[in-house]
């Protein structure tokens, strides 16, 4: 019985991918996928973030079948709930992910770093979350930046590309170093060394050092990066000479995972020179800024305000 059902589903999926199904057959596929979606139970530690994984699988299905064809709504339900089913049909391009123990690493108010099983090192900003396998298996090294910002130093391995999922984009490298900055509004990848490919929503760009990719409003663009971002400020002391308060605030937001609130935007043009030690707390840096500018920045959780 199970073999017959599996065969029927394979037949309908293949037929649907070629645009040959009738309305009744499409409805059957949709009803089946939606039922599986409603009844599925996710284990975040084992299977990863459901929203991220469903989008990743859906895009991989598109790549495998061909983007020029039309895609049915039921595919999203299948991607979200039927990973084992897809594995059986051979659609899933990351067959080893279910066999890998997934670890979620989170930071609070202080940036921290971790080393992965392949020797790659990840410097995670404060208030960020990162998911990775205990040990890499298969032909790809796949991880996810779930929240916040990070700097990646990837161990070179041409036989096993390193792939980072962050929001709606995918970053693919072999061995290089770069920033990924993920927020609710956009995602940015800034390359420091090596070559990087960034893709998402059917778009793709290749980056070299001093370049960045910005994914915003469903559009992926490439541009030159700000020189201030071409260092690993999580592991290096940084001196910002004769810069503006706006530039300093931008770096502090990424490193410490906070947002700044101020009524007078004219203060952003204030010139200053700031020294940021790699292990400095946000409060220590703000004390330095307050002394130089005579402002009164104060931390309230993940928000910094001028009192």
Indicate whether 200 pLDDT > 50. Answer: yes
When the pLDDT of each residue in the chain is averaged and rounded to a whole number, the result is 80
- 8-state DSSP, 75: H
Residue 275: per-residue pLDDT? 92
Residue 297, beta-bridge partner list = 306
Indicate whether 127 pLDDT > 60. Answer: yes
Indicate whether 163 pLDDT > 80. Answer: yes
Residue 95: per-residue pLDDT? 43
Which two three-digit tokens encode residue 16? 């649907």
The HSE-up count of residue 229 (CA atoms within 13 Å, CB side) is 27
- The mean pLDDT of 259-267, rounded to a whole number, is 86
Question: What pTM does this model have?
Answer: 0.68
Q: What is the CA radius of gyration of the chain?
A: 22
3-state SS of 161-202 is CEEEEECCEEEEECCCEEEEEECCCEEEEEEEECCEEEEECC
Burial 133-168, CB ≥16 within 10 A → b, else e: beebeeebbbbbbbbbbbbbbbbeeeebbbbbbbbb
- The mean pLDDT of 181-205, rounded to a whole number, is 93
Indicate whether 258 pLDDT > 50. Answer: yes
Tally: H helices and E strands in the chain: 8, 18
Ranges 21-30, 69-78, 171-180, 198-207: which has the least confidence: 69-78
The conformational region for residue 206 under phi > 0 = left, psi -120 to 50 = alpha, else beta, is beta
Q: Which residue has tokens 């700031």?
A: 274
Residue 56: per-residue pLDDT? 59
Helix (H, G, I), strand (E, B) or coil at 132: strand
């Amino acid at each position: 019985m199970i073999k017959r059902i599996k065969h029927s589903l394979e037949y309908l999926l293949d037929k649907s991918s070629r645009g040959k199904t009738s309305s009744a057959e499409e409805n059957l596929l949709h009803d089946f996928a939606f039922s599986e979606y409603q009844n599925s139970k996710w284990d975040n530690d084992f299977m990863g973030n459901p929203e991220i994984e469903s989008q990743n699988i859906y895009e991989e299905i598109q790549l495998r079948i061909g983007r020029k064809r039309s895609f049915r709504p039921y595919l999203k339900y299948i991607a979200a709930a039927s990973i084992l089913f897809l594995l059986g049909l051979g659609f899933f391009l990351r067959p080893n992910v279910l066999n890998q123990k997934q670890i979620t690493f989170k930071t609070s108010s202080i940036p921290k770093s971790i080393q992965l099983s392949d020797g790659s090192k990840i410097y995670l900003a404060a208030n960020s979350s990162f998911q990775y396998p205990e040990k890499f298996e298969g032909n790809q090294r796949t991880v996810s930046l779930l929240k916040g910002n990070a700097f990646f130093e990837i161990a070179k391995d041409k036989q096993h590309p390193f792939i980072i999922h962050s929001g709606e984009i995918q970053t693919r490298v072999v061995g290089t170093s770069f920033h990924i900055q993920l927020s609710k509004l956009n995602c940015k990848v800034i390359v420091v060394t090596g070559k990087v490919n960034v893709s998402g929503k059917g778009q793709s760009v290749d980056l070299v050092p001093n370049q960045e990719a910005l994914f915003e409003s469903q559009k992926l663009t490439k541009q030159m990066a700000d020189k201030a971002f071409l260092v690993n400020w999580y592991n290096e002391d940084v001196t910002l000479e004769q810069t503006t308060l706006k530039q300093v605030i931008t770096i502090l937001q990424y490193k410490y995972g906070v947002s700044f609130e101020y009524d007078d935007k004219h203060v952003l043009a204030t010139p200053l020179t700031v020294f940021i030690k790699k292990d400095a707390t946000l409060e220590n840096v703000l004390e330095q800024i307050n002394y130089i500018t005579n402002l009164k920045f104060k931390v309230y959780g993940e928000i910094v305000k001028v009192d």
